Amino acid sequence: MMTSSFESEIPSKPLLEAFDLRHSFVEGEHTTEVLSGVSLKVEPGEITAVVGPSGCGKSTLLYLLGLLDRPDQGNIFLRGKEVSDCDDKTRTTLRNQEIGFIFQFHFLIKELSALENVALPLRKAGDSIPQSRKKAQVSLTKLGLGDKSHRFANKLSGGEQQRVAIARAIVNSPSIVLADEPTGNLDSENSNKVFNLLSNLATDENLSILLVTHNNELAMKCNRVIEMRDGLITNSL
């Protein structure tokens, strides 16, 4: 069916939206507000960097958007649907199907091979062993590690371990990847390699990536940069 030029020019809807997110931590009699009303949008296929000083709320924001925690106030929409008030079962399903996570520390299980580490989310989601291994091999091949899939995680270099973590994050074909300091433990050469891999995934698979980083050089390579300070977004470039 033909579409009009008007229809083809209709902008895509944001993949992820957050409105007025607020979150506090309580310790004894003290309450610390970490997020003080954060709103943002993430577009499909876009790499967005979140930068700011330590303690400004960057990682807390990522945990809320990834449905690992609940905001005290505010709303989160994924593909246009409210998800911030979902029950625990629904949140788990959404994390398995729609969201990939990459952390500064790769959290690989050293007694397992790269293939077995990448296959873990698939096994938890109910895939059979042959299915999960086949998908894991495809994911590792995308990251240039197809020939190292049977090596134990602790026999890989730091850069290779982080690439395994990325392969694990994308193995379920998520719509968005949330990355918390994914290059924080890597040298500049491996940092650039990891970013280039993420950039290629965003382009080739229309994957949205929200990247928390202290690396300003990498941040400036992203499609958009969000600056945070004291629990607030102070600038969006």
Higher-confidence residue: 124 or 21?
Answer: 21
Q: How much of the chain exceeds pLDDT 90, in percent? A: 51
Q: Which residue, chain included where needed, has tokens 């899939």?
A: 149
Predicted confidence at residue 11, as pLDDT, reads: 53
What distance in Å separates the CA atoms of residue 96 and residue 115, rounded to the nearest whole number? 18
**Domain at 12-236, CATH homologous superfamily:** P-loop containing nucleotide triphosphate hydrolases (3.40.50.300)
For 172, the token pair is 């379920």
Q: Beta strand pairing status for 30-42 and 47-51?
A: unpaired
Which residue type occupies 136? A
Predicted confidence at residue 133, as pLDDT, reads: 92
pLDDT (tens digit per residue) in 137-196:
999 998 888 888 999 988 988 888 888 998 999 888 899 999 988 887 778 887 888 888
Asked whether 178 and 65 are in contact (CB, 8 A), the reply is: yes
Confidence of residue 8 (pLDDT cuts 50, 70, 90): very low
What distance in Å separates the CA atoms of residue 110 and residue 129, rounded to the nearest whole number? 19
Confidence of residue 4 (pLDDT cuts 50, 70, 90): very low
Confidence of residue 108 (pLDDT cuts 50, 70, 90): confident
Asked whether 150 and 114 are in contact (CB, 8 A), the reply is: yes
Q: Domain map of the chain by residue range?
A: 12-236
Mean pLDDT of the chain: 87
Question: For residue 150, which phi and psi values (nearest 5 degrees)?
Answer: -100, 5
Predicted confidence at residue 7, as pLDDT, reads: 42
What single DSSP character describes residue 155?
G
The pTM of the full predicted model, rounded to 2 decimals, is 0.86
Q: How much of the chain exceeds pLDDT 70, in percent? A: 95
pLDDT (tens digit per residue) in 23-79:
998 888 888 899 999 999 999 999 999 999 988 999 999 999 999 999 999 999 999
Predicted confidence at residue 144, as pLDDT, reads: 85
Work out the average pLDDT over 91-119. 88
Among 157, 117, 121, residue whose Cα is nearest residue 140: 117
pLDDT surpasses 70 at 9: no
pLDDT surpasses 70 at 5: no
Asked whether 148 and 158 are in contact (CB, 8 A), the reply is: no
